[in-house]
Structure 1
Amino acid sequence: MNDTKYLLLKNEYNLNEEQNIKLMDVKKQFLHLAEMHKLKEKPRQIFENKK
């Protein structure tokens, strides 16, 4: 689980394919982390859409 914390902190579009697969697995196993990650990414999406 320790190596997955960086997957959760890193910008989703900066993940490589292997990291993205691992992140999806973590989200399936730990629903509370999936929700936290969604909330973390939401402001980023809002600001990127304003550009």
Structure 2
Amino acid sequence: MPQVKVGVIGGTGLYDIEGLTDIEEVEVDTPFGKPSDAIITGRLEGVGIAFLPR
């Protein structure tokens, strides 16, 4: 998993982020329960990002 510098929470239209490389899906659990979906991590133009679909 790349070091994440940017986090994005989004919906329709962001599921296929053009140019995203090194893609991984990460299942997480929090003290508040599981999020709406797996967190997708990767690199966009060399920057580590995490995306959470809502």
TM-score, normalised via structure 2 length? 0.30
Higher relative contact order (CA 8 A, sep 6+): 2
Higher-helix-fraction structure:
1
Higher-strand-fraction structure:
2
